Structures are given as structure tokens and as C-alpha cells.
């Protein structure tokens, strides 16, 4: 079985849950309030997983927008990062060394778990909560799983790049989750 990706929109911010196994879901007709579709995020994740060395070029292109630890976005918006280009360089090295992996697929059970989590966070709370409990309501899952959360990204590429770069997180846990070869897979959706 292939891994699954979970993407779910919540109010005006994007709640990106990367639950291993991965699945995809969004609130209204496949897009969130910022216009990001679940299928776009899956395509972007699959670009990174199936051709990591080529995906490194997207991160390389970001280097020009950095001045020290500050990234200048379109509209001259400035974002202070923790590591600056050091995090980008680390991600580029990682992608250039990584072997291609199988693409992601969807799970209806995990999509329902994503919906539940968005409902739980509709009052503005953030965090993981009971991931295993949510997953187990809608299927029988393997023994290994993980979850990545990302809030406020406005494009599929921004979501995936942020998770791969993992600025300020020395363990690069989000990146590791995305590129795990040995993932728990859905054994059965209810």
C-alpha cells in the first residue's frame, strides 16, 4: 500500500496535517479559503517525493529573496526566519541525497479524521490533539504514524517548501515525516 497525505482547511488559515499514513481532504469543494486545493498539495508532495533532486531547484530559487535571516516576499513583506539560507542549504543537500519515493494516495478514512480535527480546532486552538484516536475512528492503521501541522500558508508549494525546509527545527521532523520510506499504511477504511 502507498502512504497517504492529510490536508484540511480551517477558517481563514490552512491547517496542514501530514498524518502518516498520508491523506488529503479540504473543507469546501476541494479548496480552502486561500484557494489551495488538496489535489494541488498532493501533486506538490509527489513532485518532491518522486524527484527530490529536481525539487531542490525550487528551494534554490528562494535563496535570492533572503537578506541574512530576513526573507523579502512579494509586496515587500519581510519575514524573519530563524536560520536564513542555512535551512535552505540543508534542505537542498537533503533533497540531492534522497532517493525517489512512491507517490502519495488518498484515504477516505483519514479524510474524515482531518475533518474531525478541523472541527476540534474551529475555536482557534492549535496543536495535534489525539491523532491516534482520530485515525482509529475511521480505519485500522499500521503501527507507525506521525503528524505535521502548518498554519497560514497560501499555496501548495508554500506548504510543501515550509515542511521540507523546516526552519528553526534542528531535528527536521516535518521533513523526515514527508520522506519516510517505511510508513504505516491504511489496512482498512471503515
Task: For residue 96, report the phi and psi dihedrals to the nearest 5 degrees.
Answer: -70, -20
- Could you report the per-residue pLDDT of 158-187, keeping only the tens digit for each? 989 999 999 999 899 999 988 887 653 444
pLDDT reported for residue 145: 66
Q: What is the pLDDT of residue 168?
A: 95
Give the tens place of pLDDT for each residue, 80-124: 999 999 999 999 999 999 999 988 776 667 767 777 777 787 777
Inside any domain, residue 63: no
Q: Is residue 161 part of a domain?
A: yes
Quick one: CA dihedral 170, 173, 174, 176, positive or negative?
positive
- Supply the mean pLDDT for the chain: 74
Residue 69 inside a domain? The answer is no
81 falls within a domain: no
Rounded mean pLDDT, 69-83: 91
Contact 159, 32 (CB under 8 A): no
What domain range is 53 assigned to?
8-58+101-189
Q: What is the pLDDT of residue 154?
A: 81
Lowest model confidence (mean pLDDT) among 15-24, 46-55, 106-115: 15-24
Q: What's the mean pLDDT in 52-77?
A: 93
| Total-model pTM | 0.75
pLDDT > 90: percent of the chain: 35
72 in a domain, yes or no? no
Q: 147 or 157, which is more confident?
A: 157
Q: What is the pLDDT of residue 106?
A: 63
Assigned domain for 145 exists: yes
pLDDT at 183: 54
pLDDT confidence of residue 163: 94
Domain count within the chain = 1
Q: What pLDDT is stored for residue 33 in this prediction?
A: 44
Q: Which of 22-36, 45-59, 148-162, 165-179 bottoms out in mean pLDDT, i.e. has the lowest?
A: 22-36
| 79 found inside a domain | no
Domain assignment present for residue 75? The answer is no
Amino acid at each position: 500500500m502507498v502512504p497517504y497525505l492529510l490536508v484540511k482547511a480551517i477558517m481563514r488559515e490552512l491547517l496542514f496535517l501530514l498524518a502518516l499514513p498520508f491523506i488529503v481532504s479540504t473543507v469546501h469543494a476541494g479548496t480552502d479559503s486561500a484557494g489551495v486545493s488538496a489535489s494541488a498539495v498532493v501533486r506538490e508532495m509527489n513532485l518532491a517525493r518522486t524527484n527530490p533532486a529536481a525539487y531542490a531547484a525550487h528551494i534554490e530559487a528562494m535563496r535570492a529573496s533572503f537578506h541574512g535571516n530576513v526573507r523579502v516576499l512579494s509586496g515587500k513583506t519581510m519575514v524573519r526566519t530563524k536560520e536564513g539560507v542555512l535551512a535552505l542549504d540543508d534542505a537542498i543537500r537533503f533533497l540531492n541525497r534522497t532517493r525517489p519515493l512512491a507517490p502519495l494516495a488518498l484515504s477516505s478514512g483519514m479524510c474524515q479524521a482531518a475533518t474531525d480535527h478541523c472541527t476540534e480546532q474551529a475555536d482557534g486552538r492549535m496543536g495535534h490533539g489525539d491523532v491516534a484516536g482520530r485515525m482509529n475512528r475511521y480505519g485500522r492503521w499500521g503501527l507507525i504514524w506521525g503528524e505535521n501541522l502548518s498554519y497560514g500558508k497560501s499555496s501548495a508549494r508554500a506548504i510543501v517548501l515550509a515542511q521540507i525546509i523546516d526552519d528553526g527545527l534542528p531535528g527536521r521532523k516535518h521533513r523526515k515525516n514527508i520522506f519516510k520510506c517505511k510508513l504505516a499504511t491504511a489496512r482498512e477504511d471503515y
